[in-house]
Amino acid sequence: MAMPLDGVKVLDLTRVLAGPFCTMMLADMGADVVKVEEPTKGDEQRSTIHYRRTVDHDFFYPYNRNKRSVAVNLKKPEGKEIIYGLAAKADVAVENFAPGVVKRLGIDYETLSGINPSLVYCSISGFGQTGPYRDRKAYDGIIQAMSGVMTATGFEDGPPLRFGLMVADVTGAMMAAYAIMNALYYRERTGRGQYLDVAMMDSLLTMWTTQAAEYFSVGRNTRRMGNELFHRVPSSCYKAGDGRYLQLVASTQRLWEMLTQLLGIPEAASDPDMNSQPARLKNREKVNALVTERLKVKSAAEWVEYLSEGGIPCGLVQTLDEVVADPQVIHREMVTTLDHPVSGKIRQFGIAPKLSKTPGQIRMSPPLLGQHTAEVLSELLGYDGDRIAAMERDDAIRCNPRVSAV
């Protein structure tokens, strides 16, 4: 079956998280992604926490499927020559080194676009390639803090709280993939490549929605609201009779009136303290206390089923083992199993967007370090076996994965 990015060649110079997640998104949609790694260690995530056997790379697996690994020593002239050869044939190059590093390595946009003027070259960094923070080191939590996201996360009487997932990294990755697709479409019409500067900080700022509207309208800073929406009541995480939690949102007047009927408190709909959204916002604690008291009579799962059938938006707060067993998640094929040459069966979350005519596919498991070096050099650059063997002897490349050393 055809895939949207069939025939698109991606030179992947990324490592750790934001860059690899971006290139995996392209690979999932059919792009031929050649991941360039340092021959002795590879991507840093290969050596981050192994939960199982020594050779497992649990942190490397989730965002490196569908790629081919080429292990190249950029400090060797032959290694640099390989990168230039791959760039000449690539449609896209992606890197997420600290600003300035690719210039020192001789693999920056100016150099590679000189070889291939139609190349779309994307740089992902914490703060961008320009500005006073350009050279600052950036991790996901740093970006969450400086973007203001942590001031909107947590409870009002507690400290700022980091969002539990790598939201800055992943948002930056998605913005980079979005930018690349736009640049490829532009190139399709004009034949011209371009440089893309994607900052995690910029990307995370775009997630500010209703709170930003409030700030830009009246100058009011956001405040931490825990699990509640600042402009809607009731909308929170409530504890049911069995001690489990459910998230419930009755954000309109009609939903509030429906909820009061379903909870057996129809009189609350006409209570002056609760009969309108402004009144409920003013009396938030009273509304939440009433809802919490009523939810004590059933389990969280019973309430979710009952209220959902009644048209109230709600959901059980689930652990990961419950998520992967959820019938909706299973139906949407959002948990997939891959065969890995070392780790055997590994599970991952699947591809989110469902395209009717050109769906994405998971075709390959995450590669071993250097697993495809010989294949790529032969297929894309025309190197013969003797030349490849000589380069490996000279430590310019790594071909046959030495599993025990990975």
Q: What are the residue numbers of the active site?
A: 169
By DSSP bridging, strand 67-72 and strand 32-37 are: parallel
CA distance 251 to 231: 9
CB 304 within 8 A of CB 316: yes
Q: List Cβ neighbours of 181 (8 Å cut-off, separation of 6 or more).
A: none
Tokens 């920056």 appear where? 108
Distances (CA, A) of 146 to 139, 151, 201, 204, 212: 11, 10, 8, 10, 15
Tokens 């190197």 appear where? 383
Q: List Cβ neighbours of 349 (8 Å cut-off, separation of 6 or more).
A: 62, 334, 335, 336
Starting from the edge strand earliest in sequence, which strands make up the sheet with 9-13, in order?
194-199, 120-125, 92-95, 9-13, 32-37, 67-72, 397-398
List 198's β-bridge partners, or say none: 124
C-alpha neighbours within 13 Å on the C-beta side of residue 222: 25
The alpha carbon dihedral of 391, 397, 403, 406 has a sign of positive
Distances (CA, A) of 201 to 176, 179, 275: 12, 15, 41
CA distance 360 to 357: 10
DSSP 149: G
DSSP 233: S
DSSP letters of 330-384? HHTT-EEEEEETTTEEEEEE------SSS-----SPPPPTTTTHHHHHHHHH---
CA distance 67 to 45: 15
